[in-house]
Amino acid sequence: MKRNILSIIFSALMLFCFAATAQAQSVRPEAKGSNLILSAVERYNERDIEGALTLLKEAVAENPEDDAAWYYIAQCAIAKNDAEMAEQALRMASELDPDNFWYRYRLARLYSLTSRPELTVDMYEKLLEDFPKKSELYFDLVEMYASQQEYEKALDILKEIETVFGMTESIAMYRFNLLRMLNKPEEAFASLEEYNKEYSSPYVLSTLADYQMSMYNDSTALAYYDEALDLAPDYAPALLGKAETLRLTRKYDGYFGTLNQYVADPETPAVAKSDYLMAVVQRTEPKFLSSFRLQIDLVMNIALQVHPADSMMLQTAAVYYYSTDRKDVAKKHFKANIEAWPESFSAAANYVEFLMYAEDWEELSVQGRAAFEKFPQETGFLEMASVGDYNLEAYDKVLDICNKVLEVAPRDSSKTLRAWSTMGDIYHQLGDDKKAYKAYDKALKINPDYIYVLNNYAYYLSVEGKNLKKAYSMSKRTIEAEPDNATYLDTFGWILYLQGKPLEAKPFFKHAMLYGGKDSVVIMDHYAEVLYALKEYDLAMVYWNMALKKNNGDIPDLETKVKQRKQSMKK
């Protein structure tokens, strides 16, 4: 056994051993007179384990039948992480005084904690024969049988517990769970119903209600939930179960009233409430959120009044308001979350992500940088800020961020790859293709198969009409990697066209049309040019007309060009 595992096991056993010290001594009063043992115990309490062990070994040398000395040797062995010595010593103590419960019980625990189930169960069964009133033995044995999937044996022990100690809620629930593990759901719930006839508890009633709801018996389920709430009006599982039953059966007046009561209880953990409300927001139909906006607003307000600074609750409210197209209110709650939890990475990440989806570019630029200042190893915040900068056309700021990423994470290939790739795009945007290509080369040195860069690099070369052979080679790799990507098919087909191979280019454009090409003005224009070169004028005009309808500044001179093509076709 590994040393660190032993440490955990022995730490657990030491708690038992300390608790048992008084009992072990009281069984053998003559052991109290042993100066050696008393001195050893003093040494042990002072954490002088070796000194204590030396005295105890001297004691058993003088009297090998001193069971208390062997017991304390076991304690010292546990402190030294020596399982073998501890077992030998406990065995000796148990053999010398077989009527001592604690000696045998600690040995059984040692077997359990060192993963020897057969020895453990055998020891417990023998202990039960000799000590039938020790309740801990029964429950430990039930746990062991269950862990070995011997559920029938575990049920038999539960019957014994009930006979000796009487029925309790915990016994009823344990039997319920064991029967379910045996795949006997009907018998499991019947056992709970039998318990409920004589006894009653909100937990059992709520469990029965959950079962009835799973069987689509909503009226019976509601009756059980109400019975549970009669016993405990603020019992959270019953309130939530009742609320969900009312929601599923479209009894919305009752639903929101019960839900308000549930979220208003300060004793119910905020995480449970936020988990449920988040599920409602994310999994119900948008029509539900819009139809009952006022009622859900009230639920959120109550929850926030009870848990005004809870991070999960603030985030839940923010997601809800964003989902109902109230970005300003959502922003207020996301912002409140980072103000309440300034050191929380998740709060900062959620706010920055929201700003990106909300297209709040100025705030994204500011908050992305602010988050990076708090979490300087998380360059993802800088990259998010650069998205804001890019949309604000602050290209110099984007380049600054890329350089910062290269400075902060020079050995992180994924981050440096994105940085060089972005720099290539920005330099091209600024019209400096020389620097753009150098940046792309740096990116491809990190990952030669990075198809995003391969495509852009190839396409920009094709636009310049330069190095088409290199462009062809790079573009070919992109369509081999993603043969149904319309953008990559367009690049490759266009390069073929520029190489004077319109017939070879046509099938790639044709394929692109099946996978989103008709959504791009540029791709349809390229395809029309290929068809025009092949003298398929009618089909070329079909795609040019489609492109003209979609053109929104994508190709500024498209209308003029199409007119010229028409004239050349004499149409």
pLDDT at 397 over 60: yes
Q: What burial class does residue 526 get, using C-beta atoms within 10 Å of its C-beta: 0-12 exposed, 13-18 middle, 19+ buried? A: buried
Q: Residues 41-67: pLDDT tens digits?
A: 888 888 898 888 888 888 888 888 888
Q: What is the DSSP track for 53-73?
A: HHHHHHHHHH-TT-HHHHHHH
pLDDT at 124 over 80: no
Model pLDDT, residue 3 = 35
Q: Looking at residues 316-327, what average pLDDT do you find?
A: 96
Q: What is the DSSP track for 181-247?
A: HTT-HHHHHHHHHHHHHH---HHHHHHHHHHHHHTT-HHHHHHHHHHHHHH-TT-HHHHHHHHHHHH
Model pLDDT, residue 16 = 40
Model pLDDT, residue 34 = 58
Q: Residues 184-195: pLDDT tens digits?
A: 988 999 999 988
Q: Looking at residues 451-477, what average pLDDT do you find?
A: 95
**pLDDT higher at 67 or 512:** 512
Quote the mean pLDDT of the chain. 89
pLDDT at 5 over 50: no
- Least Cα distance to 379 among 369, 390, 365 occurs for 369
Range name among 17-26, 314-323, 334-343 with the lowest pLDDT average: 17-26
Model pLDDT, residue 571 = 53
- What confidence category does residue 21 fall into, taking pLDDT thresholds of 50, 70 and 90? very low
Q: Provide the terminal-to-terminal Cα distance of the chain, rounded to the nearest Å.
A: 89
Q: Residues 515-561: pLDDT tens digits?
A: 999 999 999 999 999 999 999 999 999 999 999 999 998 999 999 99
**Helix 169-181 with 135-147: angle, nearest 10 deg:** 20
DSSP single-letter state for residue 149: T
pTM over 0.85: no
- What confidence category does residue 139 fall into, taking pLDDT thresholds of 50, 70 and 90? confident
- What confidence category does residue 99 fall into, taking pLDDT thresholds of 50, 70 and 90? confident
pLDDT at 219 over 90: yes
- Least Cα distance to 143 among 106, 188, 178, 191 occurs for 178
* Domains of the chain (ranges, CATH numbers): 1-117 (1.25.40.10)
pLDDT at 29 over 50: no
Model pLDDT, residue 241 = 96
- What confidence category does residue 432 fall into, taking pLDDT thresholds of 50, 70 and 90? very high
Range name among 55-64, 341-350, 473-482, 552-561 with the lowest pLDDT average: 55-64
